[in-house]
């Protein structure tokens, strides 16, 4: 029997998923990721693009403030960019989780800016060789966490095994795509409603995930 979220997954796959991959492809092609780049159009400098404080709209080649960072002060963004420029990204990272923890430990930011770090790691990871991206886990911050809670109930986990969420949504979308779907489609997921408590417990047990403050 198809998942009750099937229509949402199908709609996302045909729409927002395309936008996500255009952004990831752009990050792969950037010349200087950490310190920012200068986008030129018809030989004229348009603006300086500070990643992830700004991101390029892949459809119109214009610069706009990343909606994730609209409530983050310019001072914090500039300090974060400067700190990232001083870190050693040439060392070996075995997976995205290790890469993320390295940035968290060295970025100089206090709690509350995990999404900023995730966005940076996601984009920077696309720019590295070989690429580093989340594979085994889906990271849940702000909108993505809200979307996840609309599906599986209240939780304190900041990441969940991808296979658990693939089971819930009945999809083979990647970790990056599921995180994006949970954020973009959070209101639609809320309208559909969560899975049953019995199914939630069974899934968490199946994937060996500790239930942290999940409502019964």
Split into its structural domains, the chain has a count of: 1
Residue 142 lies in a domain: yes
Contacts of 202 (CB under 8 A, 6+ apart): none
Q: Could you tell me the two tokens for 69?
A: 């960072």
Measured distance CA(202)–CA(152) in Å, rounded: 11
Residue 168 lies in a domain: yes
Per-10-residue mean pLDDT of the chain, 216 residues long, equals 86 87 73 40 40 40 52 73 81 92 86 80 83 94 94 91 95 95 95 93 89 47
What pLDDT is attached to residue 155? 87
Residue 167 lies in a domain: yes
Measured distance CA(111)–CA(94) in Å, rounded: 25
CB atoms within 10 A of CB 212: 11
Residue 46 lies in a domain: no
Angle, vertex CA 171, rays to CA 167 and CA 173, nearest 5: 115
What pLDDT is attached to residue 45? 40
Residue 191 lies in a domain: yes
Q: Could you tell me the two tokens for 113?
A: 């800016």
């Amino acid at each position: 029997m198809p998942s009750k979220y099937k229509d949402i997954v199908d709609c996302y796959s045909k729409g927002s998923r395309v936008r996500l991959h255009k952004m990831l492809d752009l990050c792969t092609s950037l010349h200087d990721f950490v310190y920012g780049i200068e986008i030129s159009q018809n030989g004229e400098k348009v603006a300086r693009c500070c990643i992830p404080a700004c991101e390029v709209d892949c459809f119109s080649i214009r610069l706009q403030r990343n909606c994730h960072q609209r409530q983050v002060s310019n001072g914090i963004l500039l300090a974060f960019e400067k700190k990232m420029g001083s870190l050693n990204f040439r060392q070996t990272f075995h997976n995205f989780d290790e890469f993320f923890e390295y940035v968290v430990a060295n970025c100089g930011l206090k709690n509350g800016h995990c999404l900023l770090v995730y966005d940076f790691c996601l984009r920077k990871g696309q720019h590295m060789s070989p690429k580093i991206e989340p594979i085994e886990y889906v990271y849940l911050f702000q909108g993505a966490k809200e979307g996840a809670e609309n599906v599986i109930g209240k939780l304190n986990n900041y990441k969940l095994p991808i296979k658990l969420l693939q089971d819930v949504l009945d999809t083979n979308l990647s970790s990056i795509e599921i995180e994006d779907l949970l954020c973009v489609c959070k209101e639609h997921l809320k309208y559909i409603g969560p899975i049953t408590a019995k199914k939630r417990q069974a899934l968490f047990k199946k994937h060996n995930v500790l239930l942290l403050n999940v409502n019964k």
